[in-house]
Amino acid sequence: MSDVKVETKGSKRKTGLPFIDCDIHNEVPSPEALKPYLSQRWRQYMEMVGTRTYHGYAQHIPYPKGNAGGTRQDAWPPNGGIPGSDLNFMREQLLDPLNMEIGILNCLYRVAEQLNDEFSAALARAVNDWQMAEWLDKEPRLRASIVIPYENAEFAVEEIHRVASHPGFVQVLFLPRTREPLGRRKYWKIYEAAENHGLPIAIHFAGLGGNAITSHGFPSYYIEDHTTMAQAFQCQVISLVCEGVFERFPGLRVALLEGGFAWMPSLMWRLDQQWKRLHAEVPFLKRKPSEYIREHMRVTTQPMEEPPKLEYLMQAIEWLGSEEMLMFSTDYPHWDYDSPELAFPAKFPIELKKKIFYDNARAFYRFG
Amino acid sequence: MEKDLVVKTRVGVIDCDVHHAVPSMAALYPYLSERWRDYVKEHNIKSLEPNYYPRGNPLSARPGSEPSSGALPGSDLGLLQRQVLEPWNVQYAILHCLYGVQMIHNEDLAVQVAQAVNDWQMAEWLEKDSRLRASIVVPSQNPQRAAEEIHRVGKHPGFVSVLLLVRSEKPYGKRYYWPIYEAAEQYGLTVGIHAGGVTGYPIMPVGWPSHYIEDYVSHAQAFQSQLISLVSEGVFVKFPRLRVVMMESGFTWVPSLMWRFDKNWKGLRREIPWVDRLPSEVIRDHIRFTLQPLDEPPKPEILLKVIEQMGSDEMLLFSSDYPHWHYDEREDALPAGLPADLERKILFENARAVYRF
């Protein structure tokens, strides 16, 4: 968004609230950067076939974003790379001036969307090795999500076991546009592995999926694709709860990243209401759906909800029924970045802000 | 409570979502030409009853709404009069027939069945009780032919709406569907979008869920993306008099959707320059929601705040959604604790403004 330039290089935060950023994007600069981490077989495959996902473009994407890369215009690093690809520039623009204690990287490289499961698994290994070597081992303030080929649970579990012992990895990453709803048994082995390693799973906003973004096909515009993503998140919540995932994996924690949160109370009410009428269909659910959500799920704040009045924002948070559910995120370097200085209205209660900025994420990720 | 109800309903409520049921294909024989009667018989099409209200499912039928004959709930006019029209002192009840016309792959058959259903609605419902109104069932598979059906019956005073189902073959904002809106606007008909329909896309943007409860709950998300489509594509710029009523959609999600949509519009409006004001304003001017099923918050005062957040007290229309079972006692169809003027608006004033009564 070119007309809202919120944080320029070197600007200092005014408040001293400790601060955990639950959503930063480290970008693979180009497929070339992954080649050192791919075996000969998959380097060859990448050169011969390359990436094949759910759409038909070689260079383009079906819903072109509002600007190049969908990033902040000031986030292009001086080395000529793409936003989010240069650690030094990220330090200079984000970590240092914001005085950030911990930042969690979510690498959105298209791994699980690959149509070839084995290539998908090879890419996941490469991306995670790249994350360890180029980010985690170089910058102690950073943590990262394990990228997995989640459409093939067997391969995904292998990858979790391979890298979970690295202290920099703090969760397992999904994108919301899965082939099947995430509550389905197809994915349960992944939850089992995550639970065994004490890792939460995260679901992060991202376009492109094998299924249309609506129950009625593909819309025309990026603004629709972007706005409708909240409905994809809502459906994942419905599925995870109603399929009994949290009964089967009582230790599983789920973070919803960049999906919004103001819709959550309404969804809780609707689920609870229908559960009253239809619980006989899902007898394995022992509690109201909203209770599973409050206990197991967390949501990040960016892009911050902006109702016309502050009191509406406070109501939406109150209706979550928990002050522990919200965790702050900037979404650096994307266009709809939230600044920790400006994302919250001036009159936002300071105690709650402390929880959102720090305490909730620290408890959820079990940071010391 | 009974006295209270009498006071509330003295003027007579307008029930904007009531379902009558086609008992069987045979009931439509009198309204089908010989060619299509033969077709239906030869191909052994006995019923187009949709599966989104399974008969054994408690949500599908209120206790007592099944006729003693064992016929489908909603198929008996007398029972519907006794269970809906009389107790609520209904001025008007708007019938929406959910027979599976929109799911037929054979477009010609869909056109014929839609015509037959509309003729059946006129003969067996609208002309038998002056309190009844109905929506026109259209073959939405082919919007041009859907518009023709609107032209065929749109002047009948009993029809006040055109029925679409929320799960369509494309998002409803697309120009593909505009002939339907053009015809609806011409006859002063609202467009009613109701839960239901199966066109091949999963109900969830993330694939097919396992359970009925997931399917039912996630209809709210289907409505949300239809609403986003209608506004983004500029339907209400092209058809400024058009009103859309979302039925059995829930509505407590509306404020959060408005906030998200407005915020995205501020950042991305250059992509849809014909949307020249906040999406929330367009929604408030053109879109209405029926009351049931009410995704009821844990406290009544929260619901009042949700309605305040919607930014308009003109958006909600009373509905019983008969014979679907959402509330236990009749009084519970209307949320408790509403201020009297809001109650009046929900019970009949808002509907009067939207439909041509």
**DSSP string of B105-157?**
S-HHHHHHHHHHHHHHHIIIIITT-TTEEEEEE--TTSHHHHHHHHHHHTTST
User: How many whole angstroms separate alpha carbon B350 and alpha carbon B342?
Assistant: 10
* A-to-B residue pairs, Cβ atoms closer than 8 angstroms: 242
From residue B35, give the alpha-carbon distance in Å to each of B42, B108, B109, B112, B251: 11, 12, 11, 10, 44
ipTM: 0.95
Question: HSE of A199 in the Cβ direction (CA atoms, 13 Å)?
Answer: 28
Give the orientation angle of helix A153-163 with respect to helix A117-131, to 10 degrees: 20
User: How many whole angstroms separate alpha carbon A357 and alpha carbon A350?
Assistant: 10
Rounded to a whole number, what is the distance in Å from the CA of B37 to chain A's nearest CA? 31
Q: What are phi and psi of B255, to 5 degrees?
A: -60, -45
- Option in A179, A242, A269 nearest B252 (CB): A269
From residue B16, give the alpha-carbon distance in Å to each of A3, B322, B324: 45, 10, 14
Rounded to a whole number, what is the distance in Å from the CA of B131 to chain A's nearest CA? 31
- Tell me which of A168-177, A250-259, B119-128, B326-335 is least confident: B326-335
pLDDT score at B331: 77
pLDDT score at A69: 78
A221/B171 Cβ within 8 A: no
- The parts of chain A modelled with pLDDT lower than 70 are 1-16
pLDDT digits (tens, 9 = 90+) for B300-320: 899 999 999 999 999 999 999
pLDDT score at B59: 87
Q: How many CB atoms lie under 10 A from the CB of residue B234?
A: 18
User: How many whole angstroms separate alpha carbon A301 and alpha carbon A313?
Assistant: 12
Kindly report the CA angle at B273 between B272 and B276, in degrees rounded to 5?
Answer: 110
Beta strand ranges found along chain A (DSSP E): 20-24, 102-105, 142-147, 169-174, 201-204, 254-257, 297-300, 326-327
Taking a C-beta distance cutoff of 8 angstroms, is the pair A238, A252 a contact?
no
Q: Which of A113, A228, A317, A331 to mutate to test the interface with B (most CBs of B within 10 A)?
A: A228
Q: Given pLDDT bands bounded at 50, 70 and 90, which one contains residue B12? A: confident
Cis status, amide bond into A303, omega within 30 of 0: yes
Using an 8 Å CB-CB cutoff, list chain B residues near A113: none
pLDDT digits (tens, 9 = 90+) for B81-93: 999 999 889 999 9
Helix (H/G/I), strand (E/B), else coil: A9: coil
pLDDT score at A230: 96
User: How many whole angstroms separate alpha carbon B96 and alpha carbon B166?
Assistant: 13
Q: Given pLDDT bands bounded at 50, 70 and 90, which one contains residue B74? A: very high
Q: How many CB atoms lie under 10 A from the CB of residue B341?
A: 10
pLDDT score at A5: 43
Please give the model's pTM, rounded to 2 decimal places. Answer: 0.95
Q: Taking residues B290-301, what's their average pLDDT?
A: 93
Q: Taking residues B93-119, what's their average pLDDT?
A: 97
Kindly report the CA angle at B324 between B51 and B83, in degrees rounded to 5?
Answer: 135
pLDDT score at A15: 57
Q: Which helix (H) or strand (E) holds B290?
A: strand B287-290
Taking a C-beta distance cutoff of 8 angstroms, is the pair B260, B200 a contact?
no
pLDDT score at B88: 86
pLDDT digits (tens, 9 = 90+) for B150-183: 999 999 999 999 999 999 999 999 999 999 999 9
B169/A269 Cβ within 8 A: no
H-only helix segments in A255-347: 264-278, 289-296, 310-319
pLDDT digits (tens, 9 = 90+) for A258-288: 999 999 999 999 999 999 999 999 999 999 9
What share of chain B in percent tops pLDDT 70? 97
Taking a C-beta distance cutoff of 8 angstroms, is the pair B48, B101 a contact?
yes
Using an 8 Å CB-CB cutoff, list chain A residues near B232: 219-221, 223-224
- Option in A238, A266, A307 nearest B253 (CB): A266
- Option in B167, B202, B296 nearest A273 (CB): B296
Determine the residue of chain A that is closest to B199 in CA distance: A216
Q: Taking residues B33-61, what's their average pLDDT?
A: 93
Q: Given pLDDT bands bounded at 50, 70 and 90, which one contains residue B244? A: very high
pLDDT score at A6: 44
B253/A180 Cβ within 8 A: no
Identify the burial level of A45 via C-beta atoms within 10 angstroms of its C-beta, where 0-12 means exposed, 13-18 middle and 19 or more buried.
middle
User: Does B238 have pLDDT greater than 50?
Assistant: yes
B166/A223 Cβ within 8 A: no
User: How many whole angstroms separate alpha carbon A181 and alpha carbon A200?
Assistant: 18
Residues 6+ apart with CB under 8 A from B165: B98, B102, B140, B193, B194, B195, B196, B197
Q: Which of A1, A188, A224 to mutate to test the interface with B (most CBs of B within 10 A)?
A: A224
Token pair in block for residue B292:
């049931």
Identify the burial level of A294 via C-beta atoms within 10 angstroms of its C-beta, where 0-12 means exposed, 13-18 middle and 19 or more buried.
middle
Rounded to a whole number, what is the distance in Å from the CA of A327 to chain B's nearest CA? 18
Comparing C-alpha atoms, which of A181, A183, A212 is closest to residue B222? A212
Q: What is the 3-state secondary structure (H, E, C) of B149-195?
A: HHHHHCCCCCEEEEEEECCCCCCCCCHHHHHHHHHHHHCCCEEEEEC
Taking a C-beta distance cutoff of 8 angstroms, is the pair B167, B199 a contact?
yes
From residue B42, give the alpha-carbon distance in Å to each of A155, B9, B36, B39, B50: 51, 49, 10, 5, 21
User: How many whole angstroms separate alpha carbon B106 and alpha carbon A155?
Assistant: 43
